[in-house]
Amino acid sequence: MQKPPLTLYLAAPRGFCAGVDRAIKIVEMALEKWGAPVFVRHEIVHNKFVVDALRDKGAVFVEELDECPNDRPVIFSAHGVPKSVPATAEQRQMIYVDATCPLVSKVHIEAARHHEAGLQIVMIGHAGHPETIGTMGQLPAGEVVLVETVADVATLVVRDPNKLAFVTQTTLSIDDTADVVSALKTRFPAIIGPHKEDICYATTNRQEAVKAMASKADVPCLWWVRPILQFKRLVEVGVKMGYALTHSSCSGHPI
Ligand code: SF4
C-alpha cells in the first residue's frame, strides 16, 4: 500500500542546554586533572548515554555529599546547591568544583541582593526540585517562601506584605508562571521582581519551538530519556496547543 508522504520537522533549539553542556565538560576536565574516581553530586544530565560514558571514565554519581570520601574531588551539578553543601565540603577539606549554571547563580545573587535590602523572597518553583532547594538554601530558613501555583498565592503567609521580592526557578512553564506572577502582584502590589522572570532562555526557546511547530506538524514527538521538569513543561505546552497526549514517555515513567 502506498504510504502518504511524511514530512519531518526538527525543532530548534533541541538537545542539551549550555548549562548542562558546561557541567559535562567540567566533569570531563576534572577526570583529566585528578583522575578517577571523581564524585558528582546529583546526576549531571538526564541522559543515560552521557552518564554511562562519564561513569566508564570514572565519574561516580551520588545524591548527597556524605556518600563521598574526603580525599576525592566532588562536582556540584548545574542545578545549584544550598550554601550548606560547599560549607560542609570546606569543613571536610574536600576539593570541590561548583558546576552551577551561571543562569541559576544569577537567581541566587538576585535573592541575596533582595535579602540584603531587607526583603523576604517568594520563590516560584517546584517543591523538592534540586534547583528550588539550592536557591532557597542560599538564605536562612524562612527568608525564602515557596509558591507553586496560583492557589498557593492566596494562602501565602508573609512577614510584611510591603517588603517582598520574587524569583523563579529557571525551568518553569512560561505561561503558568505568568499567571502566578500576576496573582502575586495582585495580592502584594509592592512586590519587586526581575524585569523578566528568571526562566532561562534555553527553557523559553524550547517551549517557543513547540508552540511554533503547532501550526505545522500534525503529530509532535518529544524524546527525552527521562521525564524531567523541562520535558514535562514541553508536553504541557504541546497539550495546550491542542495536541493529544498518547504516550507518557518512552521509558514508562509517568508524566
Ligand atoms: S538554567 Fe537553563 S541553561 Fe542553565 S542548566 Fe538550567 S536549563 Fe540549562
Residue with cell 514535562: 232
- pLDDT value of residue 241: 74
Domain termination site, one of 187, 209, 225: 187
For a pocket test of ligand 1, which of 17, 81, 129, 173 has the largest count of ligand atoms closer than 8 A to its C-beta? 17
Who contacts 36 (Cβ-Cβ below 8 Å, separation ≥6)?
57, 58, 59
Q: How many domains in the chain?
A: 3
- pLDDT value of residue 175: 85
Count each helix (H run) and each strand (E run) in the chain, helices first. Answer: 9, 7
- pLDDT value of residue 209: 86
Who contacts 240 (Cβ-Cβ below 8 Å, separation ≥6)?
175
Residue with cell 515557596: 146
Distance CA 170, CA 145 (A): 16
Q: Are residues 85 and 23 in the same domain?
A: yes
> What's the whole-model pTM score?
0.86
Q: Are residues 25 and 6 in the same domain?
A: no
Contact 181, 197 (CB under 8 A): yes
Domain termination site, one of 69, 84, 100: 100
Full domain range(s) for residue 9 = 1-13+201-255
- pLDDT value of residue 223: 67
- pLDDT value of residue 252: 35
Residue 195 lies in a domain: no
Q: Residue 70: which CATH number?
A: 3.40.50.11270
Distance 92 CA to ligand 1 centre (A): 29
Residue with cell 500576576: 182
What stretches in the chain show pLDDT beneath 70? 223-231, 245-255
From residue 208, alpha-carbon distances to 12, 21, 124, 158, 232 in Å are 9, 21, 20, 34, 14
Q: Are residues 110 and 37 in the same domain?
A: no
Residue 131 lies in a domain: yes
- pLDDT value of residue 165: 98
Contact 168, 124 (CB under 8 A): yes
Residue closest by Cα to atom 2 of ligand 1:
200
Who contacts 247 (Cβ-Cβ below 8 Å, separation ≥6)?
none
- pLDDT value of residue 196: 76
Distance CA 226, CA 211 (A): 22
Domain termination site, one of 71, 100, 129: 100
Q: Are residues 117 and 137 in the same domain?
A: yes
Q: Residue 147: which CATH number?
A: 3.40.1010.20
